[in-house]
Amino acid sequence: MPYYLKIKKLDIKTGQSDIALLNVDEAMRYGIKAGDKIKISWQKNSVIAEANTSHKRVKPGWIGLYRDIWENMEILPNTIAEVNFLERAQSVQAIKKRLLGKKLKYKDFYQIFSDIANGILTRTETTYFVAASFMHEYSNQELCDMVRAMAETGEMLKFEDKIVVDKHSVGGLAGNRTTMVAIPILASLGLTIPKTSSRAITSPAGTADTMEVLAPVAFNAKEIKAIVKKTNACLVWGGGVNLAPADDKILQVSYPLSLEPYDKMLVSIMAKKVATGVTHLVIDMPVGSTTKIPNMKIAKELEKKFQFIAKKFNIKVKVAIIQAEDPIGMGVGPSLEARDVLRVLQQKDNYPADLANKSIHLAGQLLELSGKAKKGQGAKIAWEVLESGQAWKKMQEIIEAQGGNPNIDPNDIILAAHKTYYNAPRSGKIIFTDNKAINTIARILGAPKDKLAGIYLNKEYGDHVKKGERLFTLYARGKERLRLADTALKKMAIFKIGK
């Protein structure tokens, strides 16, 4: 039996849960207690929230919604909501089963992902599901069922082209904005590549954050199709479309342990590819002590699983396992990374060579995989369209189609107003770059939320430096963050200088 309450927008954000605040006496009358799940519906919208209670903040007859809910939805003044108590989710039974070591079927996964996506499972219940993934390895059949279920519980983008290519980085390396270089290369050669990217979660910049420096990135499925029709490609945020929506919430509870189960990563990547109808895929897998994949053994096992699943879904996949410890590019943080990308695409004198090389390598692999280039010719062709300016022309089309300024120059990129230089304390050769320290410091400076903040690496691995020579530069919006970063740098080092 539903209750009807007037919606009040409350100015509180939890950053992780959808909370609705009820008057405590009213909640008690309705049999709802703090912590219960309720469903709130109005007009065509509905949301699952957790009930909190208050003595005075919310009057009887009203329901207060936190910013986490109303920030992304339209709620007109004086809206009346229907409120229903939510029974325990059925999928809880499936999670229990998995926790106790039993195998799950497609319909179990579908129910679980659907309940996670719709907020019917709580954070704690979702955590139990993720925990189960740590302990009993999934069979190949289960992995395929999960991929299909995760894709099908969200939106499915269909393109008319026979060949739809994609490149994906499993991440963990600072900088590494190869996507923004490789996509225009590939699209300029006539391949269809509708690229959806995530925002940063644990890193200082995701591809979506960086592209947003150059153009808007939030589009719905219809808009994305129009952009791709016009330019063969797009560089948009995945969150604007409802692709594999369970994935984001699973990621949120994986983060506290900072240990992403490999199976989970695999499913998350492949589900999104299935949902976008990808036919040819190159996976960039950086392997190194400070990246996500620590050694070749794990990389090889993952490669096998990627191959197995891809085959089931008729996707041709190539896993590019690349040893890497060093950031790609010189900038870390959305604006600094966007500047690197522009320097490469516009072939400026000071372009970061490693970013260009790696992008060409990956683009070349995809050209060969999709049959656009003969074996061994991919990188050469990619290099030619980059050098000739053809790739930059394509990028200008994409920027324009997404509503940005196609004539932007690297020097137009605005950086944060406050900066500090760090110089070499002694002469020597840089023998180690700490990728994790770079990520940590860049986040302390404000990246990725603050797009103008970040680190510019004036030197890189292998460089010989003289005492007092500039090593790197920190950018931040205020002096306080620079001070915080300076404190952190007393405990960790970005570069290690040898003799």
Our CB check for a second copy shows the closer of 248 and 384 to be: 248
- Taking the C-alpha atoms of residue 205 and residue 217, their distance in angstroms, rounded to an integer, is 14
Residue 258 found at the interface with a second copy (CB under 8 A): yes
By rule CB under 8 A, what string of x and - marks binding of each residue 386-425 to a second copy? Answer: ----------------------------------------
- Tally the C-alpha atoms within 13 A of residue 86's C-alpha that lie toward its C-beta: 22
Q: How far is the CB of 16 from a second copy (least distance, A)?
A: 5
Number of residues that bind a second copy (CB under 8 A): 57
Our CB check for a second copy shows the closer of 82 and 409 to be: 82
Residue 474 found at the interface with a second copy (CB under 8 A): no
Our CB check for a second copy shows the closer of 52 and 335 to be: 52
Our CB check for a second copy shows the closer of 51 and 208 to be: 51
**Where does residue 432 rank: exposed (0-12), middle (13-18), buried (19+ CB within 10 A)?**
middle
Our CB check for a second copy shows the closer of 58 and 345 to be: 58
The correct pick among 4, 6, 16, 431 for binding a second copy (CB under 8 A) is 16
Can you tell me which residue has the tokens 């396992």? 321
- Taking the C-alpha atoms of residue 60 and residue 78, their distance in angstroms, rounded to an integer, is 15
Say which residues have a Cβ less than 8 Å from residue 152's Cβ, sequence separation at least 6: 110
Q: How far is the CB of 13 from a second copy (least distance, A)?
A: 5
- Taking the C-alpha atoms of residue 240 and residue 250, their distance in angstroms, rounded to an integer, is 18
Q: How far is the CB of 176 from a second copy (least distance, A)?
A: 23
User: What six digits make up the tokens of 366?
Assistant: 């995809």
Residue 297 found at the interface with a second copy (CB under 8 A): no
- Taking the C-alpha atoms of residue 421 and residue 485, their distance in angstroms, rounded to an integer, is 12
Can you tell me which residue has the tokens 């930059």? 392
The correct pick among 423, 462, 487, 492 for binding a second copy (CB under 8 A) is 487
Q: How far is the CB of 419 from a second copy (least distance, A)?
A: 17
Q: How far is the CB of 448 from a second copy (least distance, A)?
A: 11
Identify whether the C-beta of residue 341 lies closer than 8 Å to the C-beta of residue 388.
no
User: What six digits make up the tokens of 190?
Assistant: 């006539």
Residue 9 found at the interface with a second copy (CB under 8 A): no
- Taking the C-alpha atoms of residue 259 and residue 293, their distance in angstroms, rounded to an integer, is 11
Our CB check for a second copy shows the closer of 378 and 448 to be: 448
Identify whether the C-beta of residue 233 lies closer than 8 Å to the C-beta of residue 195.
yes
The correct pick among 44, 76, 77, 101 for binding a second copy (CB under 8 A) is 101
- Taking the C-alpha atoms of residue 13 and residue 293, their distance in angstroms, rounded to an integer, is 34
Residue 156 found at the interface with a second copy (CB under 8 A): no
Q: How far is the CB of 256 from a second copy (least distance, A)?
A: 5
Q: How far is the CB of 35 from a second copy (least distance, A)?
A: 4
Identify whether the C-beta of residue 199 lies closer than 8 Å to the C-beta of residue 237.
yes
Residue 267: count other Cβ atoms within 10 Å of its Cβ.
31
User: What six digits make up the tokens of 41?
Assistant: 């519906």
Residue 90 found at the interface with a second copy (CB under 8 A): no
Residue 39 found at the interface with a second copy (CB under 8 A): no
Q: Which stretch binds a second copy (CB under 8 A): 8-16, 144-152, 329-337, 392-400?
A: 8-16
The correct pick among 35, 60, 61, 468 for binding a second copy (CB under 8 A) is 35
By rule CB under 8 A, what string of x and - marks binding of each residue 109-148 to a second copy? Answer: -------------xxxx-xx--xx-xxx------------
- Taking the C-alpha atoms of residue 396 and residue 140, their distance in angstroms, rounded to an integer, is 42
Q: How far is CA 259 from CA 37, 236, 254, 263, in A?
A: 28, 27, 7, 12
Q: How far is CA 314 from CA 24, 265, 267, 287, 304, in A?
A: 55, 20, 16, 27, 15
Q: How far is the CB of 130 from a second copy (least distance, A)?
A: 8
The correct pick among 88, 158, 466, 467 for binding a second copy (CB under 8 A) is 88
Q: How far is the CB of 460 from a second copy (least distance, A)?
A: 27
By rule CB under 8 A, what string of x and - marks binding of each residue 434-473 to a second copy? Answer: ----------x-x--x------------------------
Residue 314 found at the interface with a second copy (CB under 8 A): no
The correct pick among 7, 92, 309, 455 for binding a second copy (CB under 8 A) is 92
Identify whether the C-beta of residue 390 lies closer than 8 Å to the C-beta of residue 382.
no
- Taking the C-alpha atoms of residue 418 and residue 416, their distance in angstroms, rounded to an integer, is 6
Q: How far is CA 265 from CA 149, 230, 268, 434, 462, in A?
A: 15, 32, 5, 24, 32
The correct pick among 11, 162, 375, 498 for binding a second copy (CB under 8 A) is 11
By rule CB under 8 A, what string of x and - marks binding of each residue 67-86 to a second copy? Answer: x-------------------
- Pick the closest to residue 494 from 451, 445, 430 (CA basis): 430
What residue ranges bind a second copy (CB under 8 A)?
1, 10-16, 19, 21, 24, 28-31, 33-35, 50, 52-57, 67, 88, 92, 95-96, 99-101, 122-125, 127-128, 131-132, 134-136, 253, 256-259, 444, 446, 449, 478, 480-481, 484, 487
